[in-house]
């Protein structure tokens, strides 16, 4: 019985690629140094899978940024602003598209389906001149072959690539991206031809958009694309891989009817109903790559249950046509549990990271073939039983409090307009008030202090003193820049990772466990270390009150209390899979509610409860949206339903498409929302142009913090003017897109100075117009 891995983490067990990329970007190392690190990682991954007995090993899943950008490079679909003149796409062009440069901004970045991974959105139109401009897929196949490893090269499928794209600036929004299929198929044919010549016997096309709600025209595009590719694919075994959700019956019918296709990869973890479709109708003689090992979570597989599922499928598709696989790429999980030396032994026995999931896949394949490892299965069964019976998982008081939430929608008693009036009387802010999102640059020295405190190398007094000094520095800088509502910079969570506040809060909540090296790629070189929610959640004591109160004592200006919201903590963690996600979310909401009320008692008048990942968790199918949004929005309202009218509640969201959930955002009933806007070509503003009325405060981001580029005062003023065309002056805030932890002070200071200058310039203009 054969085994298959959809994809594997790229960063390395100790984030080797992250550090190599950042060293290259900072011009501290050469392109050759970067390529050597990458080659060593690829070699290690391929040899590991080969040694574990995996038959179908992927190649071309390694990336310096993301696989969609790699496909854009392969197709030569470089936007004109990057001045690419043809030929093989080099590092400068590739990374300029991803990160921007001194002259031009980066391409839009958004979430990869409903994960915390991101991709660079292709910008396409009728005038794009496609050409075969990156031979990466072929080069990596040859590289693996030279190491003695026969791989399955993986490409983003042509239809999914187009469906994940957007019309370029200046192109009509109604432009049919699928009309470009005849232009990109010839490039795919060139790639296929070269792979065949290099000795490939299998090829994998990832077509994850098949799990979305597609209309008949979109489904027909898959049929047309693979009919066009059929002759080019002759002689190859072709796997179409889908993941993250169930297929609709119409999509499944389209999939199994594709010309020239040998095998179908299905997510049987999140796609729980897809199994029924297979049992009803599976084409004779085709392979089923059954994704029974979860690629998106870190819990050990229930091997006995998976084996039963596989045996049932084997009776349908045939013994020699069933391949055991992961549900999706293992990119979304941590690398290797072996590196976790500080995890509690009991909890550790419940887990499986990418390396362990490879072993699970092969163990299931061998068991199906009659070579069951009884000791391995027995150990797995014992771990499953331990998790179900462990007293540390359940807390009766927490469950009772969560159950008591039913029957109320937890809205604040006064409407937002009246609250804003009360808050303005207390805060006395100017029009177009300026603020930042929360974090400030996390310096090497700051990270050293945090690291040494965790390692017990410095005392708690020395740690507190160092953090206070950093907060004072950040407060002074904001006052010098004349920012209106301040933040303390989050130095107490200074590990330079995108969701370090999630880990910070998780460390202080019961029901959470933490890893040392459980890093997961978010985009580019950015990695996160998601906490593990293994049990019921509660707040034993105050978490941020001391730091927020300390920061407020340093200034007369309003200081924001900074919290991460329950939905974001949920979506940026590895979540327990033994109860519904909404139940866990309600437990977290109650813990954050306690913290909000303690901050208010401590004199903090502005409290930001970030829900950066609320949109990210939206199910892929529209039929499931309403239920998710109901409990997610309710969870946010629970956190702040008990505060006074004069306490201003902010929230923040970033890097997603919010237009389709704007009414749910309004229903959150926050006083002010700051939201990513600049990198997505200000498409957020279009929802207001279309007539949606928003009465609360709103701060669409005026510049992209994920690029080192420093925007000018004029550029920011222009953005604000566009906002003023669709939003009332008295509700508009001025702020960056997101937190500043990933930037350097030499970038942050001039950018914020220009932001404040632009706000003041427009205040003067608006005052003169009265």
Q: Residue 480, annotated ligand binder?
A: no
> How do strand 118-120 and strand 109-111 relate by DSSP bridges?
antiparallel
611 is in an annotated binding site: no
Q: Which tokens in the block code for residue 539? A: 């707040």
DSSP 247: P
Is 657 annotated as contributing to ligand binding? no
Asked whether residue 585 is marked as a ligand-binding residue, the answer is no
For β-strands 672-675 and 109-111, DSSP reports them as unpaired
Phi, psi of 677 (to 5 degrees): -150, -40
Q: Pick the catalytic residue: 4, 488, 650, 706?
A: 706
The strand order across the sheet containing 532-538 reads 510-513, 532-538, 574-575
Q: Rounded to 5 degrees, what are φ and ψ at 724?
A: -65, -20
Q: Is 213 annotated as a binding residue?
A: no
Contact 34, 537 (CB under 8 A): no
Was 306 annotated as part of a binding site?
no
CA–CA distances in Å: residue 223 to residues 212, 218, 253, 688: 16, 9, 11, 38
**DSSP letter at 190?**
H
The answer to whether 652 is annotated as binding is yes
Cα–Cα distance for residue pair 165/731, rounded to 1 Å: 33
Is 328 one of the annotated binding-site residues? no
> How, if at all, do strands 287-293 and 263-267 pair?
parallel
Question: Can you tell me the distance from the alpha carbon of 290 to that of 463, in angstroms, rounded to the nearest whole number?
Answer: 51
- CA distances (Å), origin 336, targets 170, 321, 340: 46, 30, 8
Locus of tokens 């978010």:
522
Q: What residues form DSSP beta bridges with 649?
A: 607
**Annotated binding residue 738:** yes
d(C-alpha 160, C-alpha 183), whole Å: 15
For residue 4, indicate whether it is catalytic.
no
Packing angle of the helix pair 625-640, 581-601 (nearest 10 deg): 20
What CA–CA distance (Å, rounded) separates 130 from 75? 6
The DSSP letter of residue 150 is -
654 is in an annotated binding site: yes
List of residues 6+ apart from 56 with CB closer than 8 A: 2, 3, 4, 5, 152, 202, 239, 289, 323, 325
Please count the other Cβ atoms lying within 10 Å of the Cβ belonging to residue 672. Answer: 24
Asked whether residue 667 is marked as a ligand-binding residue, the answer is yes
Question: Has 503 been labeled as part of a binding site?
Answer: no
SS3 of residue 563 by DSSP: strand
- For 244, the token pair is 């993250």
Tell me which residue of 596, 529, 538, 532 sits closest to 563, measured CA to CA. Answer: 596
- Active site residues per annotation: 706
Binding residues: 18, 116, 437-439, 490, 526-527, 572, 610, 652, 654, 663, 667, 676, 738
Q: Which residues are annotated binding-site positions for 5-methyltetrahydropteroyltri-L-glutamate?
A: 18, 116, 526-527, 572
Residue numbers belonging to the annotated binding site for L-homocysteine: 610
Binding residues for L-methionine: 437-439, 490, 610
Residues belonging to the binding site for Zn(2+) are 652, 654, 663, 667, 676, 738
């Amino acid at each position: 019985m054969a085994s298959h891995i959809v994809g594997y983490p790229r960063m390395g067990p100790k984030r080797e690629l992250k550090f190599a990329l950042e060293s290259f970007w900072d011009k501290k190392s050469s392109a050759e140094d970067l390529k050597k690190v990458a080659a060593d990682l690829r070699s290690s991954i391929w040899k590991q899978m080969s040694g574990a007995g995996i038959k179908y090993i992927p190649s071309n899943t390694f990336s310096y940024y993301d696989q969609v950008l790699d496909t854009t490079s392969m197709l030569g679909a470089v936007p004109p602003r990057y001045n690419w003149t043809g030929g093989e796409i080099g590092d400068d062009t590739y990374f300029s598209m991803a990160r921007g440069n001194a002259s031009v901004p980066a391409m839009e970045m958004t979430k990869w389906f409903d994960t915390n991974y991101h991709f660079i959105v292709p910008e396409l139109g009728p005038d794009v001149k496609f050409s075969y401009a990156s031979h990466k897929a072929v080069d990596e196949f040859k590289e693996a072959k030279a190491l003695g490893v026969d791989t399955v090269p993986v490409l983003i499928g042509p239809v999914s690539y187009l469906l994940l794209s957007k019309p370029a600036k200046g192109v009509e929004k109604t432009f049919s991206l699928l009309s470009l299929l005849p232009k990109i198929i010839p490039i795919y044919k060139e790639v296929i031809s070269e792979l065949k010549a290099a000795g490939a016997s299998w090829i994998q096309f990832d077509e994850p958009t098949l799990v979305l709600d597609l209309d008949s025209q979109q489904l027909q595009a898959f049929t047309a694309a693979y009919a066009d590719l059929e002759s080019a694919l002759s002689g190859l075994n072709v796997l179409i891989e889908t993941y993250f959700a169930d297929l609709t019956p119409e999509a499944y019918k389209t999939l199994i009817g594709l010309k020239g296709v040998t095998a179908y990869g299905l997510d049987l973890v999140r796609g729980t109903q897809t199994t029924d479709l297979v049992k009803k109708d599976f084409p004779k003689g085709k392979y089923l790559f059954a994704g029974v090992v979860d690629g998106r979570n870190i819990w050990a597989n229930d091997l006995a249950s998976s084996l039963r599922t596989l045996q049932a499928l084997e009776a349908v598709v045939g013994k020699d046509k069933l391949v055991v696989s992961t549900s999706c790429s293992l990119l979304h999980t941590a690398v290797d549990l072996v590196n976790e030396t500080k995890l509690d032994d009991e909890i550790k026995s419940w887990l499986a990271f990418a390396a362990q999931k490879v072993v699970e896949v092969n163990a299931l394949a061998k068991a199906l073939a009659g070579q069951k490892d009884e000791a391995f299965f027995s150990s797995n069964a014992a771990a499953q039983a331990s998790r179900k019976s462990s007293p540390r998982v359940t807390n009766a008081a927490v469950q009772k409090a969560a159950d008591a939430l039913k029957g109320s929608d937890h809205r604040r008693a006064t409407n937002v307009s009246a609250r804003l009036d009360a808050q303005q009387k207390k805060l006395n802010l100017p029009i177009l008030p300026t603020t930042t999102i929360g974090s400030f640059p996390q310096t090497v020295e700051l990270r050293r202090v945090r690291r040494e405190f965790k390692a017990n190398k410095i005392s708690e007094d020395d740690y507190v003193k160092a953090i206070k000094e950093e907060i004072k520095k950040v407060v002074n800088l904001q006052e010098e820049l004349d920012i209106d509502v301040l933040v303390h910079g989050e130095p107490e969570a200074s590990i330079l990772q995108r969701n370090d506040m999630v880990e910070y809060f998780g460390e202080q909540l019961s029901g959470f466990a933490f890893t040392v090296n459980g890093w997961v790629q978010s985009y580019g070189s950015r990695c996160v270390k998601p906490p593990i929610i293994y049990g019921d959640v509660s707040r034993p004591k105050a978490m941020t009150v001391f730091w927020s109160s300390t920061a407020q004592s340093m200034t007369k200006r309003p200081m924001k209390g900074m919290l991460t919201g329950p939905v974001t903590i949920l979506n940026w963690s590895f979540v327990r899979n033994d109860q519904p996600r909404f139940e866990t979310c309600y437990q977290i909401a109650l813990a954050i509610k306690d913290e909000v009320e303690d901050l208010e008692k401590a004199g903090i008048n502005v409290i930001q409860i970030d829900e950066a990942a609320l949109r990210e968790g939206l199910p892929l199918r529209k039929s499931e949206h309403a239920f998710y949004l109901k409990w997610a929005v309710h969870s946010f309202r629970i956190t702040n339903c008990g505060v006074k009218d004069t306490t201003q509640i902010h929230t923040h969201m970033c890097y997603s498409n919010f237009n389709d959930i704007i009414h749910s955002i309004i229903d959150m009933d926050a006083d002010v929302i700051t939201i990513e806007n600049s990198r997505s070509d200000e498409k957020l503003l279009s929802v207001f142009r279309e007539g949606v009325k928003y009465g609360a405060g709103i701060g669409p981001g005026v510049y992209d913090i994920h690029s080192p580029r420093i925007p000018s005062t004029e550029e920011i003023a222009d953005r604000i003017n566009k906002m003023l065309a669709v939003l009332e002056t008295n509700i508009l805030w001025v702020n960056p897109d997101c937190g500043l932890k990933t930037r350097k002070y030499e970038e942050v200071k001039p950018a914020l100075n220009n932001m404040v200058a632009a706000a003041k310039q427009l205040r003067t203009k608006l005052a003169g117009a009265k």
